[in-house]
Structure 1
Amino acid sequence: MKISASCILPLCAGLISLVLMASAAQARQVKVMSPDGKVAATVDDDGGILTYRVTADGKPVLEPSPIGLRTNGHDLGKAVSIKSFRRGKIDDRYPIFGGKAWASNKANTATISVASNGETIEADVHVANDGVAVRLRLPALSERRIDADQSGWKLAGGNPRLWATEFFSDYENVYAETTLDKMGDKNYGLPLTAKVNGLWVTLSEAAVVDYGDSSIHLHDGMLVTRLYADPDGWHTNEAVVQPWRVTIIARDLTQLVNSTLVQNLNPPPSKALAEAKWIRPGRSSWQWLAIGDPLESDQKQWVDWTHQLGFEYYLIDEGWAKWQQPWQSLADTATYARAHGVGIWVWIHSNDVATPAARQALFRRFADIGVVGVKVDFPQGANREWTNWYIATAKEAAADHLMVDFHGAAKPSGTERTWPNVLTREGVRGHEWHITRYNRKLPPEHDTILPFTRYVVGPGDYTPTVFEPKELQGNSWAHELAQMVIFTSPYLSMGGHPATYLANPGLDVLKAVPAIWDQTLVLEGSEPGKAVVMARRRGNDWYIAAINNGEARDLTVKLSFLQKGPWQLVGLGDDQDKPDAYNRQSKPVTPDQSITLNMRARGGFVAHLQKR
């Protein structure tokens, strides 16, 4: 990371400008431009209120929106005066697990010194080509009380369309389309995506560390943060760093899904973690969705199935602690699995690792028997104490070379950049909801919205792809298989029974799909709530995956993203007569050709393309 020299008001010029009005009673402004000059954020203290507004391509994205929090009974963000600022520049690139191989982290920044209610605080501004982030930082003060967060987003464009989820503390609710004026007084979860003046805009927060997680609600036309799990606030003697309030901006859906702004706003990992060979993305079999509790007697069979599928991992979920010899059976299974090239993950309850001593003891015991990862379930609502628990759990798991999957978890805030052993987390209503034994069924639009909302800010453990006919509940086989490609998760825990995978006529394609990608494109015909069509590359191979909502549709997909051919395409489309079958095709194709997708209601399509 490269940071430029600082400058003090009013002597700065260039990409960040400060405008001092003639009278001290008038507003001061700090303007920050993105490296490409197309995105701008302007912070000012007009009327004694600290706000920022955002434009992109000369069009308004955010109208003046507050930056603030309430501490010790005072509103920091009101009665403010900008005193000075310094500017900086970030130019960084780092490897990432997910929809692409590398993250670009280029931004212009400002750190603004602000006087408010007898305190001097700092406001940070980060402006990148893909969006804007702001936050406050407060100096340490004995027994400081954080009362409430008072930041927000005022979307431009009047009454924009948006795709949002009503708030659940486990982040497992459906996404649906609405408009700003229809949100009412309900609590909503982040991220939220809106269409503002022709731009795709996703709102969320980054680097939620030593601070409570936030939901949002509509107040006077503005989306305002709410510390839902800390209604009474907290006391601290430490410096306070507000999470970044993030506005991702994209001209098209490919730019949107490829944003790494949330991850960029977190610190890089240690050198040891950045180079760790034991952190290995991969696909996993998993028994809970298929059969419920694991059986002590058939663990080697599950390892054998996993090996036959070529998957890297097998997850033993809740119920193993009730076995007759739980620890001995875990150790035996891990030894058997290792001999077959399979790593074992194990489910635990967050109560099992609630304290440092408990975490260290349990993680060491798992590592000693050869377990490679832990799925940690049912954390409490993410107040300040529990957001710190996430970080401590990641850190102590890393000390024992354990990878982590957080379940029932708060949304990602990019901390997986700092702790890359956290390969994924749930924080999404996935296939665990779409299951007959609990009489639960996902609405058809949900799957087509997720890639452009929840998955914009980080990987999600959807537990995809179930082929049992009774569990389809309207979905087609192609729709289910496409979930595996579209719902990014570097630890890709598969929901279906391995025996149904091995018997499926699409087994060759299923076995080839990787857990991480080098490149992702969103193709024509994609629209949240209607359909998603992606092309994803791993190495020299390309995959096309499509998911449809509740209306049948035909789409034409151009293959111009391919390099010069010829290529061999194996496609698995919908059988129009029955959901549990494919229309399979295998043919040579070239980049100047197109293919037609004939998708059923709740249908899909998957193709594997290899250069001949």
Structure 2
Amino acid sequence: MKIQVNFGLVAILLLMSAILQAGTVEVKSPDGNLRVTVELSEKGTLTYAVTAHNQQVLQPSQLGLVSSHGDLSRSLALVKVGKIIGVQENYTLLTGKRKNCSYRGNELTFEVRNPQNQVLQVIFRVSDDGVAYRYGLPVESVDTVRIEREQSSFHFPAGTRAWLHPHADAGTGWNATQPSYEENYYLDIPVGTPAPQQAGWSFPALFYTGRHWVLITETNVRENYCGSRLSAQSPEGEYFVTFPQPLETTSKGAAVYPTGRLPLYSPWRLIIVGSSPGTIVESTLVTDLADPAVTNDLSFVKPGQASWSWVLLKDDSTVFPVQKAFVDYAARMHWRYCLVDAFWDKQIGYDKIQELVDYARQKNVGILLWYNSAGGWNTTPLTPRDRMFDRKTRRNEFERISQMGVAGVKIDFFGGDGQSMMTYYQDILKDALEYKLLVNFHGATIPRGWNRTYPNLMTMEAVKGFEYVTFDQRNADQQPVHCTVLPFTRNAIGPMDFTPVAFSEVPNIRRITSNAFELALSILFQSGIQHFAEIPQGMAAQPAFVQQFMSSVPEVWEDIKFIDGYPGKYIVLARKGNGVWYIAGINAQDKEQQVTIDLKTIDSRAKAATVITDGETSRSFNQFETNKPVVTLNIKPNGGFVATVVGK
């Protein structure tokens, strides 16, 4: 009898045995450059570490959670390590930075148990541009379980710098509307800097280790979990995931912390990693890891631009004659929508809104209507109010305006990130989807992959947008720097309703951005519906070539390429729409920024480019054509440019 031995298989089995005995396992990205090491210590604590190109990105960082049924963060024993599984997925996204998205990663499940035999899964996914993990409580139970806290941390090496958004404490701000992610980022600060408020630091959070750029956020928050953020304290550069404050709920007694029956899975904790900040700007991991779309009917999901009166003309503009003029304005500019903001119920009324919808339809313009999210979490007086929170009332309202022909809704003033609020957001999206209504969440949380799962979610605010420039000179003074941070942070994780582009002067405010800076924001900032701030008179005063550019900005972006930039200083990127590449850049420094652009690296067919830059003054433009394959531009302080690549 002859026995054949597969020595390769024996070696693999011996290696796996060693891994299990030591409680350590590794999983790498498909290209092998990004590596996660998971370790279960002899004391029963679970950690992970991340390296990229053999350089440390995260030091050993903690894992685990504590529920009302038990502690799954210590005294853990290994149950099993699953096989590494390749995951690949392709999908279409109309409201993101890339239309046709592709994901490829390796998945590993690490399963442990506590002394009470309660099981915790930690599921890792590693792709070429990032690491993600989530927890699973896989054993079914009829009992209700509450997650008290996570032990999840991100431990950065010494010397790492950070760009962080302070999270406002719940119930603060104008009419108790915070938190709504509307602060300025703290720029280039050392890790370990305490947050200015108890709520901590918001997602997304940007870091630079000296070798790698890292963006931390979360995605795929389902109805049975809360949104989270980073801890206010981060000793020695270790940041922990923390849950919302008690006021971040829809009503007294409604869930703030994750509460429900098992099985239960947490959101993905996402770590985007790149040697260049371009990896972060270009990454689609937030939607790659989200649940697939709940519907295949995209017939009514039409991204586009919108005219909007409120941001420069305020509440008095929400009257029928002005809104009719803004419909005409949208039609002239070939924009798909017109947004009618607060007080339309009192200052226009349903009957005249119906007339406006009918008039707009003849002009191929859709009407969007504003609503207050209502509920007891804020005291805002803006109306219509109390038509969203109660489900029956909401569905009746959606049915009514859908029958009227309204295209979508903008819903404002939400109450934080508690589980009940996460449920409320998604209940709205589901009901709106049934009535084929588009949705824009304002005064709201950040995108967490929902624009993939619910294709009718066009955009979310969660940013200190242009409206703040109209409120206070300090905001206007900070705008250039603020805008150069957002492509690396907030807009990197999903559509952002900043409401950009104002050439007109702002009443009682000195706008320090140039008109070319403002023009560039039409390309730099991405939103499923882009509400432009400029009003008809201001647009009419611009050169014909600027008006033409603004009327031809693509509705759907097919691709994105980072060219150059540094958060807080300048940013240059390219987006592709309708088969054409558009390039835009802005400079927030007090000196000129020279940039060199190789058109062939953007479009191999590039023959020439049409460029619009600042003119002799900050309120004028200059347009020129170039057939050079390499273009060098000097962006003026607080200035900008746009370029259209001619590829044939």
The question of a shared fold, defined as TM-score above 0.5 by the shorter chain, is answered with yes
In structure 1, the residue matched to 2:587 is 548
In structure 2, the residue matched to 1:41 is 36
Displacement after TM superposition at 1:21 (Å): 6.0
What pairs up with 1:303-452 in 2 under 5 angstroms? Answer: 303-323=327-347, 326-351=349-374, 352-436=387-471, 440-441=475-476, 443=478, 444-452=480-488
Distance in 1, matches of 2:299 and 2:154, equals 41
Matched, 1:289 2:311: yes
Displacement after TM superposition at 1:355 (Å): 2.5
Higher strand share: 1
On the 8 A contact 1:409/1:425 being kept in 2, the answer is yes
**Closer, same or farther in 2 for the Cα pair 1:296/1:563, shift >3 Å?**
closer
* Percent identical residues: 28
**Closer, same or farther in 2 for the Cα pair 1:551/1:11, shift >3 Å?**
farther
Distance in 1, matches of 2:555 and 2:431, equals 25
In structure 1, the residue matched to 2:609 is 569
**Closer, same or farther in 2 for the Cα pair 1:562/1:383, shift >3 Å?**
closer
Distance in 2, matches of 1:574 and 1:18, equals 65
Distance in 2, matches of 1:489 and 1:99, equals 9
Distance in 2, matches of 1:109 and 1:557, equals 40
Amino acid of the residue matched to residue 216 of structure 1?
L
Displacement after TM superposition at 1:449 (Å): 0.9
Matched, 1:30 2:25: yes
In structure 2, the residue matched to 1:126 is 125
On the 8 A contact 2:145/2:259 being kept in 1, the answer is yes
**Closer, same or farther in 2 for the Cα pair 1:442/1:281, shift >3 Å?**
farther
Distance in 1, matches of 2:510 and 2:644, equals 23
Match of 2:112 among 107, 114, 118: 114
**Closer, same or farther in 2 for the Cα pair 1:340/1:241, shift >3 Å?**
same
CA offsets per residue over residues 524-573 of structure 1, 9 Å max, x none?
A: 3x111110011222233222211111412131322233546664533221
Amino acid of the residue matched to residue 82 of structure 1?
L
In structure 2, the residue matched to 1:173 is 183
Matched, 1:495 2:491: no
CA offsets per residue over residues 48-82 of structure 1, 9 Å max, x none?
A: 11111111111111111112222127431211122
3-state DSSP of counterpart to 2:399: helix
CA offsets per residue over residues 356-391 of structure 1, 9 Å max, x none?
A: 212211111110000111111111111000001111
Match of 2:291 among 251, 254, 267: 267
**Closer, same or farther in 2 for the Cα pair 1:81/1:178, shift >3 Å?**
same
In structure 2, the residue matched to 1:64 is 60
In structure 1, the residue matched to 2:241 is 225
Amino acid of the residue matched to residue 131 of structure 1?
G
Matched, 1:276 2:298: yes
Between 46-55 and 376-385, report the one with greater CA deviation. 46-55
**Closer, same or farther in 2 for the Cα pair 1:341/1:13, shift >3 Å?**
farther
Amino acid of the residue matched to residue 32 of structure 2?
G
In structure 1, the residue matched to 2:81 is 85
Distance in 2, matches of 1:114 and 1:160, equals 32
Distance in 2, matches of 1:539 and 1:234, equals 43
Distance in 2, matches of 1:436 and 1:393, equals 30
Matched, 1:214 2:228: yes
Match of 2:101 among 96, 100, 103: 103
In structure 1, the residue matched to 2:596 is 557
Match of 1:465 among 495, 501, 507: 501
Structure 1, unaligned runs of 5 or more: 1-9
Amino acid of the residue matched to residue 124 of structure 1?
I
**Closer, same or farther in 2 for the Cα pair 1:19/1:345, shift >3 Å?**
farther
TM-score if structure 1 supplies the norm length?
0.91
In structure 1, the residue matched to 2:383 is none
Matched, 1:597 2:627: no
Distance in 2, matches of 1:523 and 1:320, equals 43
CA offsets per residue over residues 467-492 of structure 1, 9 Å max, x none?
A: 11345621100111111111111111
On the 8 A contact 2:398/2:435 being kept in 1, the answer is yes
On the 8 A contact 2:574/2:602 being kept in 1, the answer is no
Amino acid of the residue matched to residue 373 of structure 2?
S
Distance in 2, matches of 1:403 and 1:11, equals 57
**Closer, same or farther in 2 for the Cα pair 1:504/1:367, shift >3 Å?**
same
**Closer, same or farther in 2 for the Cα pair 1:18/1:370, shift >3 Å?**
farther
Amino acid of the residue matched to residue 301 of structure 2?
I
Distance in 2, matches of 1:220 and 1:430, equals 32
On the 8 A contact 1:69/1:77 being kept in 2, the answer is yes
Structure 2, unaligned runs of 5 or more: 1-8, 169-178, 248-255, 375-386
Distance in 2, matches of 1:410 and 1:131, equals 23
3-state DSSP of counterpart to 1:433: helix
Distance in 2, matches of 1:439 and 1:197, equals 31
TM-score if structure 2 supplies the norm length?
0.86
3-state DSSP of counterpart to 2:468: coil
Matched, 1:537 2:557: no
After TM superposition, where is structure 1 displaced by more than 6 Å over at least 4 residues in a row? none
Q: How many residue pairs were aligned? A: 589
On the 8 A contact 2:225/2:259 being kept in 1, the answer is no
Distance in 2, matches of 1:362 and 1:393, equals 12
Distance in 1, matches of 2:266 and 2:602, equals 44
Amino acid of the residue matched to residue 249 of structure 1?
V
Between 479-488 and 273-282, report the one with greater CA deviation. 273-282
Displacement after TM superposition at 1:130 (Å): 1.0
Amino acid of the residue matched to residue 339 of structure 2?
L
On the 8 A contact 2:587/2:635 being kept in 1, the answer is no
3-state DSSP of counterpart to 1:509: helix
In structure 1, the residue matched to 2:193 is 183
On the 8 A contact 1:19/1:30 being kept in 2, the answer is no
On the 8 A contact 1:540/1:610 being kept in 2, the answer is no
3-state DSSP of counterpart to 1:396: helix
**Closer, same or farther in 2 for the Cα pair 1:19/1:349, shift >3 Å?**
farther
Between 343-352 and 549-558, report the one with greater CA deviation. 549-558
When the two chains are superposed, the root-mean-square deviation of aligned CA atoms in Å is 2.3
In structure 1, the residue matched to 2:281 is 257
In structure 2, the residue matched to 1:194 is 207
